[in-house]
Amino acid sequence: MRPAVRALPIAVAALVALALPFVLRALGLDFYLSLASRIVVFGVAATSLNLVLGYGGMVSFGHAAFVGVGAYVTGVMISEGVQSGVAHLAATVAITALVALVIGAISLRTRGVYFIMITLAFAQMLYYLANSVKGYGGDEGLNIRARSLFSLGDRVLDLKDPLAFYYVALAVLVLTLVALARFVPSRFGRAALALRDDDVRAEALGFPVYRSKLVVFVVAGALGGVAGALSVNLQGYVSPNVLHWTQSGTLMVMVILGGVATVWGGLVGAAVLMLMQEVLGAYTEHWEFWTGWVLLAVVLYARQGLVGVVKTLRDRKAGPR
């Protein structure tokens, strides 16, 4: 019974996500497809941060660095005339993983607030580096005309087409969520949770703490890079602001809002935050003000995030076990 109860909402969500472009077109709301795409891209980015933050127990305050590096790698390749989406993806994953390996290898030698501050420091370094590369836009950012192209047999999938982009991004998101859901009960996933909760004990039990944390950090960094590659394809633009610390802060806010260490937390947080901006923005130019109050209310009254609220309600409905 229980697996069926859990599977139903997921099936409904998947159907809605698949049918969304057609529903929007039928209603004449095509404009909202780009919002849906943005939510999907930020959903991937926030989920990758949730892997570090929630499952790895590492409070990384520099995750925007990986998203930004990914966006720049793909953006620079496109502006240099490389069109193959496979090449963009391969280079993005390789370079962001390498950057994450270097940053992680150094940062993981520290703990607590020092880890927070040193990941922030690395992100700031990359932010100023992006500001200084005059050849690729400098502080004004880089505009790209073309997008990633994927050839499927004799057809070509161009991410410039909003519909194609939406489904590609959705596929990435689904793969991410499935991988995360499978990771949690896996051997390595359980080991990761064990060392998050008590790394001294995990070390004593023989888990390679440092190496395991580094693996989680690098995988999450590469996934953040993929989100960045998607975002530059969506916006046609990348600027140093993608790497600014307030972007790292926004990603953290999405994860905490949705639910730390929950499979759906990153996506839910991204969707709620961006829909809130959209809805409030329609009524008032001061949407940040009201968003702030909502976030404060979540901190004070919904300590487990929105996914936690849903779980509590569901358990209450299911009655005492």
Partner 1 sequence: MPGVLILEQALNGLQFGLMLFLLAAGLTLVFGVMDMINLAHGSLYMVGAFVAAWLGALTGSFVLGVLGAVALTAVFGMVLEAGLLRTLYARDHLSQVLATFALILILNDGTKMVFGNDLPLSAPAALAGPVELLPGLIYPAYRLLIIGVGLALAVLLWLLVQKTRMGALVRAGASNREMATAMGTNIPRLFTAVFGIGAALCAVAGALLGPLLAVQVGMGENILILAFVVIVIGGIGSIRGALVGAILVGCIDTLGRTFLQHALRELLPPQWASAAGPAIASIAVYVFMAVVLAIKPQGLFPARG
CB of 53 to partner 1, least distance (A): 7
216 binds partner 1 (CB under 8 A): no
Which residue, 117 or 163, has its beta carbon nearer to partner 1?
117
113-132 and 245-258 helices, crossing angle to 10°: 130
How long, in residues, is the chain? 321
Size of the site for partner 1 (CB under 8 A): 44
Q: What whole-number distance in Å separates Cα of residue 81 and Cα of residue 60?
A: 34
Shortest separation between residue 120's beta carbon and partner 1, angstroms: 7
Q: State the CB neighbour count (10 A cutoff) for residue 11.
A: 9
Contact (CB, 8 A) for 92 and 73: yes
- 149 bridge partner residues: 84, 158
Q: For 52, which DSSP code?
A: I
- Whose Cβ is closer to partner 1: residue 125's or residue 184's? 125
Radius of gyration of the chain (CA): 20
Smaller CB separation from partner 1, 182 or 286: 286
Told to check if 178 binds partner 1 by CB under 8 A, we report: no
Looking at residues 55 to 84 of the shown chain, list those that interact with partner 1 (rule: CB under 8 A): 59, 61
Q: Please, which residue, 53 or 168, has the CB nearer to partner 1? A: 53
Which residue stretches of 51-84 are H helix? 64-79
Pick the piece of the chain touching partner 1 (CB under 8 A) from 16-24, 129-137, 159-167, 308-316.
Answer: 129-137
Among 98, 121, 157, 179, binds partner 1 (CB under 8 A): 121
State the Cα–Cα distance between residues 222 and 259, nearest whole angstrom.
22
CA dihedral 251, 76, 119, 96 (to 10 degrees): 90
Q: Nearer Cβ to partner 1, position 16 or 296?
A: 296
Please report where in the chains the tokens 């004004």 appear, as a residue. Answer: 140
Question: Of 186 and 284, which has the nearer Cβ to partner 1?
Answer: 284
Question: Which among 85, 18, 316, 53 has a CA at the least distance from the CA of 192?
Answer: 53
- Judged by beta carbon, residue 142 or residue 226, the one nearer partner 1 is 142
10 binds partner 1 (CB under 8 A): no
Q: Which of residues 253-312 bind partner 1 (CB under 8 A)?
A: 253, 256-257, 260, 286-289, 291-293, 295-296, 298-300, 303
How far are the Cα atoms of 120, 127, 133, 140, 183 from residue 253, in angstroms, in the given order? 15, 20, 29, 26, 23
Among 58, 78, 118, 168, binds partner 1 (CB under 8 A): 118
Least distance in Å: CB of 277 to partner 1? Answer: 11
Interface segment toward partner 1; rule CB under 8 A; list 39-47, 83-91, 165-173, 243-251? 243-251
CB of 42 to partner 1, least distance (A): 16
CA distance 15 to 268: 17
Burial class of residue 193 in the structure, from the number of CB atoms within 10 Å of its CB (0-12 exposed, 13-18 middle, 19+ buried)? middle
Selected from 131, 176, 212, 239, the binder of partner 1 by CB under 8 A is 131
Q: Which is nearer to partner 1, 88 or 196 (CB)?
A: 196
C-alpha distances (whole Å) from 80 to each of 34, 71, 161, 242 are 26, 14, 21, 20
Residue 18 makes contact with partner 1 by CB under 8 A: no
Task: Give the interface with partner 1 as residue ranges (CB under 8 A).
Answer: 53, 59, 61, 106, 110, 113-114, 116-118, 120-122, 124-125, 128-129, 131-132, 134, 138-139, 245-246, 249-250, 252-253, 256-257, 260, 286-289, 291-293, 295-296, 298-300, 303
